[in-house]
Amino acid sequence: MNRKRITALLALATLTAAVFAASAAWGSAGAAAVPAGELTLESMLAYAIQDEYLARAEYIAIQQRYGIQRPFSNIQRSEENHIAWLVDAYNTHGLPVPKDEAGRYVRIPASLKDAFQTGVDAEVANIAMYDRFLATPLLARPENAALRDLFTRLRDASQNHLQAFRTGLSRY
């Protein structure tokens, strides 16, 4: 193999690794990869809205493939509310709202049973993300009470979603 080909293959491997790392660093997966002490209000908001964007996009894609049905339709509307709450938090903090790039990360499950499992997995990761945020000393500060309350509401809603997806999965 000549030197140019080896260089080109190494460049492609580096690019592939960077793309994989970028996709893994989005939403709850991204939040899980950051040491807790390095989380900031801005990064927590970013990971939160990314994860809510992703959940909405996944539930829309599932319904496009398998038809509109509960609990996906109800939870999709709930995710839209969650996004609106996070947009309000961005506006309150004077921060620009990130673009919705969730379509880049959506994977359509192979079956409806797998779709319910996807919902379970997504909500488990979402709950863990919010629990992690809520455990940070940054959110214990009185000036961050509104954000702490928002993350608590979002986590609690995800616990309800998790139960709905587990119920759906139990039918298989």
The predicted structure's pLDDT at residue 13: 35
- Is 49's pLDDT higher than 50? yes
The pLDDT score that the predictor gives to residue 21 is: 38
pLDDT reading at 12 higher than 60: no
Who's near 62: CB < 8 A, 6+ residues apart? 72, 108, 109, 115, 118, 119
CATH number, domain of 102, equals 1.20.1260.10
Q: Which tens digits make up the pLDDT trace of 75-86?
A: 999 999 999 999
> How many residues can be counted in the chain?
172
Is there a domain that residue 15 lies in?
no
What's the domain range around 86?
A: 26-169
How do residues 28-46 score in pLDDT, each as one tens digit? Answer: 999 999 998 899 999 999 9
* Predicted pLDDT of residue 69: 87
Contact indicator for 106, 122 with CB cutoff of 8 Å: no
Q: Is residue 152 part of a domain?
A: yes
State the total domains in the chain.
1
- Does residue 154 belong to any structural domain of this protein? yes
Write down the pLDDT at residue 1.
Answer: 56
Label each residue of 9-75 as H, E or C: HHHHHHHHHHHHHHHHCCHHHHHHHCCHHHCCHHHHHHHHHHHHHHHHHHHHHHHHHHCCCCCHHHH
- Helix, coil or strand: residue 135: coil
- Asked whether residue 21 is domain-assigned, the answer is no
pTM over 0.85: no
**Does residue 18 sit within a domain?**
no
Q: Read off the tokens for 14.
A: 């580096």
* In a domain? residue 3: no
**How many other CB atoms sit within 10 Å of the CB of residue 20?**
10
pLDDT mean over 80-95: 96
Taking only the tens place, the pLDDT of each residue in 100-158 is 999 999 989 999 999 999 999 999 999 999 999 999 999 999 999 999 999 999 999 99
